[in-house]
């Protein structure tokens, strides 16, 4: 499709001027950016970076139409941040954005981890990696926890082979696919320093900050809204306490922890309704999450039983 | 002699852009595209060698083109065809097949008539190099 567009460029006379505003409106990029603003709470630095990237790509496209540049800009990216900060969600939006701008032909997202790329025995890795790459052609390949590809403790690890194939495709098929690597910041840093080939091929490093307590509460309310649940005022206060406590406990995963908390609160609410309810329940009662549903969480008793036991043993 | 089998074989050879467009069509119908090659273009040789598996779940023709490129590199003097498999229940068959690579020097196919049982005739085709 892109080749067709290029052919058309050589046939029709090049435009003298370009109206970026009109281009912006026509490309449908605004919808994606608005969607990003609306659906993703917080993440201000990420949104700013995406806006910048979109502007760059728009200008680059305009330059191309005027014959000022020919090279496709390097679009491979790395997303770093703690678990549950929205990396996959943003990657999905990014695929849509790049598709609207015409930098990828199909705009689908193929999300993989080490298991999908690295084989079990000699000669298994290359076909496996190529299979995934073929599926990702024309779209975005999202490699979650990319640092697992490289195992410095085992020099015979097949991950190295997958890395080499990836690097080659990232260089040679820049028109065909965009690779996004994602993972925790510190481990990604290690990964990049031991694989300098990756660092030089990735132009955009985007960092995902942790959510603040206030943002997490808004996320929780957003999730509940979507599923037609509501918090009573006391339950909301309890949830604020919950977020503050949960953050200090191990395995805190930002929005994902909030989603899990919500799921467990639903479980407790259902159980409470089932055991306590006498007679008919209306819709409001079925969708109201009570303070008790939140306060019953183990987080208020110091976390998982195993964690509490460990702490006590330590003291 | 120019071998004519499958779609488009009476047309001039498709170039890569045209092949890509055909593959895009196949993928848009959710057909799985496979690459096959042979050195024996006899009309009765139905089953050619498979170059890897048929490719399910592709979104873009580039994946097929990469495999085709690899096959051409390994077998420049073979006949290579793309086959599109329709997995719809009730069809479950190859719905489209076309040649995308031919040797520089194509063999001829010769027909031999043999009289049997009185004046009945049996036809035999053989590939001559």
pLDDT in tens, chain A (315 residues): 444 444 444 556 677 787 888 878 888 888 888 888 888 888 888 888 888 888 888 888 888 888 887 777 888 999 999 888 889 889 988 898 889 888 899 989 999 999 999 999 999 999 999 999 999 999 999 999 999 998 888 878 899 899 999 999 998 888 899 999 999 988 999 999 888 888 888 888 899 999 998 899 988 888 888 889 988 889 999 989 999 888 888 888 888 999 999 999 999 999 998 888 777 888 888 888 888 888 888 888 877 777 777 777 766
Rg value, chain B, Cα: 17
Per DSSP bridges, beta strands B93-101 and A77-81 are: unpaired
Q: Is the CB of residue A132 less than 8 Å from the CB of residue A110? A: yes
DSSP per position, B74-126: H-TTSEEEEEEEE-STTT-EEEEEEEEE--SSPPEEEEEEEEETTTEEEEEEE
**Residue reference for tokens 């052609």:** A137
Which regions of A198-285 does DSSP assign to beta strands (E)? 204-208, 230-231
**Chain B residues with beta carbon closer than 8 angstroms to that of A2:** none
Give which of A122, A121, A194, A206 is closest to A163, Cα–Cα.
A194
**B70, two tokens:** 């690899």
DSSP per position, A148-191: GG--TT-TT-THHHHHHHHHHHHHHTTTT-EEEEEE-HHHHHHH
Q: d(Cα B54, Cα B51) in Å, to the nearest integer? A: 8
- Position with higher pLDDT, A40 vs B102: B102
Q: d(Cα A223, Cα A281) in Å, to the nearest integer? A: 23
User: From the CA of B99, how many Å to the nearest CA of chain A?
Assistant: 22
Give which of A200, A205, A235 is closest to A221, Cα–Cα.
A235
Per DSSP bridges, beta strands A204-208 and A178-183 are: unpaired
Among B19, B23, B35, B63, the residue to mutate for chain A (most A Cβ within 10 A): B63
**Chain B residues with beta carbon closer than 8 angstroms to that of A176:** 60, 62
Nearest chain A alpha carbon to B64: A134
By CB atoms closer than 10 A (0-12, 13-18, 19+), residue B2 is: exposed
Among A95, A137, A174, A178, the residue to mutate for chain B (most B Cβ within 10 A): A137
Per-residue pLDDT, A11 = 57
Give the alpha-carbon dihedral of A111, A176, B76, B19, to 10 degrees: 110
Per-residue pLDDT, A12 = 62
Nearest chain B alpha carbon to A105: B60
Each residue of B59-91: pLDDT tens digit?
Answer: 999 999 999 999 999 999 999 999 999 999 999
**Chain B residues with beta carbon closer than 8 angstroms to that of A105:** 60
Q: Is the CB of residue A146 less than 8 Å from the CB of residue A181? A: yes
**B69/A contact by beta carbon, under 8 A:** no
- How big is the A-B interface in CB pairs under 8 Å? 34
**Residue reference for tokens 């190529």:** A130
With an 8 Å Cβ cutoff, are B59 and A173 in contact? no
Give which of A52, A8, A5 is closest to A29, Cα–Cα.
A52
User: From the CA of A173, how many Å to the nearest CA of chain B?
Assistant: 10
């Amino acid at each position: 499709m892109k080749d067709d567009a290029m052919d058309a460029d050589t046939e029709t006379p090049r435009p003298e001027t370009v109206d970026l505003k009109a281009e912006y409106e026509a490309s449908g990029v605004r919808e994606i950016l608005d969607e990003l603003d609306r659906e993703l709470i917080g993440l201000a630095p990420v949104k700013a970076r995406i806006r910048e990237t979109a502007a760059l790509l728009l200008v680059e496209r305009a330059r191309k139409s005027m014959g000022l540049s020919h090279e496709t800009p390097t679009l491979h990216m790395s997303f770093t941040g703690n678990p549950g900060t929205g990396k996959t969600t943003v990657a999905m939006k990014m695929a849509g954005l790049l598709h609207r701008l015409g930098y990828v032909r199909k705009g689908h997202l193929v999300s993989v981890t080490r298991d999908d790329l690295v084989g079990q025995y000699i000669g298994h890795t290359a076909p496996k990696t190529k299979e995934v790459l073929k599926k990702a052609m024309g779209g975005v390949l999202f490699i979650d926890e990319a640092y697992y590809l490289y195992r410095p403790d085992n020099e015979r690890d097949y991950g190295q082979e997958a890395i080499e194939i990836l690097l080659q495709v990232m260089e040679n098929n820049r028109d065909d696919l965009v690779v996004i690597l994602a993972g925790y910041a510190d481990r990604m840093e290690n990964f990049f320093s031991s694989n300098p080939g990756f660092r030089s091929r990735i132009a955009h490093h985007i960092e995902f900050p942790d959510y603040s307590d206030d943002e997490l509460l808004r996320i929780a309310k957003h999730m509940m809204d979507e599923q037609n649940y509501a918090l009573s005022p006391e339950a909301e206060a309890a949830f604020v306490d919950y977020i503050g406590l949960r953050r200090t406990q191990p395995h805190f995963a930002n929005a994902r922890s909030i989603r899990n908390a919500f799921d467990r609160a639903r479980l407790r609410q259902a159980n409470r309704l089932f055991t306590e309810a006498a007679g008919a329940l209306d819709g409001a009662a079925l969708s109201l999450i009570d303070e008790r549903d939140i306060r019953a969480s183990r987080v208020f008793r110091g976390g998982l039983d195993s964690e509490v036991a460990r702490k006590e043993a330590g003291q | 002699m120019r071998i004519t089998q499958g779609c488009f074989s009476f047309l001039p050879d498709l170039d890569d852009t045209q092949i890509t467009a055909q593959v895009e069509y196949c993928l848009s119908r959710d057909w799985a595209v496979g690459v096959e090659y042979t050195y024996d273009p006899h009309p009765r040789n139905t089953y050619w060698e498979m170059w890897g598996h048929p490719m399910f779940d592709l979104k873009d023709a580039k994946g097929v083109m990469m495999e085709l490129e690899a096959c051409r590199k390994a077998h420049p003097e073979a006949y290579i065809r793309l086959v599109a498999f329709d997995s719809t229940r009730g069809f479950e068959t190859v719905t489209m097949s076309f040649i995308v690579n031919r040797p520089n020097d194509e063999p001829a196919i010769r027909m031999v008539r043999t009289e049997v049982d009185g004046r009945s005739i049996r036809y035999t085709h053989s590939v001559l190099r």
